[in-house]
Amino acid sequence: MFGIQGKAKLKYGAKGIIPAEDTLGLGMQIISMGLVYPDDVVTMFHEMRRATTEEFLANVDYGERDYLIVDLPPGTSSDACNLLQYIPELDGTVTVTVPPVVSQLAARKATLLSAKAGCKVLGIIENMSGYICGNCGKEFDFMKKGGGKGLAEELGVRFLGSLPLHPEVAESCDEGTPFVLKYPENPVSEKMREIAHRLEEEILLKE
């Protein structure tokens, strides 16, 4: 999504692995298994997942930065447990879910796991909430909406917002250009910015 797949290569420096730079001049750095093994199928069992988490936390030269964001698989996987164990002073976690109730089962467990570990849940985001037509701009509800908001109310955490499906979002991801940069005036971009501002507010409240 940052245009570096197949282009960037990780390097080693005096303090460890040097993350790949985005190609857009945004000043973002990325570390991913997709950069370590770009063309290989890697089957990772529990101990290998733990070792990878340790490697990415202890042996990467992150330097000084505003935010370090870790994208985790859904639910209560060993990745989530390892991260909560290795970084006990996380600013917090964000749960991303989709509208159907069945999806709330995994989202609820992940949110409760974070809370039980003593980590603040910064909020919940509902993804794929409705659909915005790329031609007429109208929004339609193909799937049930409100599951994320309902879960946030149930668990007493902030609902950060919802993001509808939009064909140009997928297009931007495939091109390697962030949607908010390519379509800054699109209503979905505005929703993304609003969520980012609310998330930053929650982080500053914690501080």
Q: How do residues 40-83 score in pLDDT, each as one tens digit?
A: 777 777 778 888 888 888 899 988 888 999 988 777 777 888 88
Q: What angle do CA 154, 102, 201 make, to 5 degrees?
A: 45
Per-residue model confidence (pLDDT) at position 207: 58
Please, what's the b/e burial string for 151-162 (b: 16 or more CB within 10 A of its CB; e: otherwise)?
bbeeeebbbbbb
Residue 200 has pLDDT above 90, yes or no: yes
Cα gap 186→61, rounded to integer Å: 36
Is pTM beyond 0.75? Reply is yes
Region of poorest pLDDT, from 10-19, 126-135, 147-156? 126-135
Task: Give the burial class of 28: count Cβ atoms within 10 A of its Cβ; 0-12 exposed, 13-18 middle, 19 or more buried.
Answer: middle
pLDDT tens profile 46-58: 778 888 888 888 8
Considering only residues 8 and 118, tell me which one the structure prediction assigns the higher pLDDT.
Answer: 118
Per-residue model confidence (pLDDT) at position 22: 84
The class that CATH gives domain 91-206 is alpha beta
Q: Tell me the mean pLDDT in the region 102-130.
A: 89
Q: Tell me the mean pLDDT in the region 186-193.
A: 91
- Confidence tier at 123 by pLDDT (50, 70, 90): very high
Region of poorest pLDDT, from 28-37, 121-130, 180-189? 28-37
- Residue 201 has phi, psi (to 5 degrees) of -60, -40
Per-residue model confidence (pLDDT) at position 206: 62
Per-residue model confidence (pLDDT) at position 134: 65
Domain ranges for the chain: 1-68, 91-206
- Confidence tier at 143 by pLDDT (50, 70, 90): low
pLDDT tens profile 4-37: 877 877 888 999 999 988 888 888 889 888 887 7
- Confidence tier at 105 by pLDDT (50, 70, 90): confident
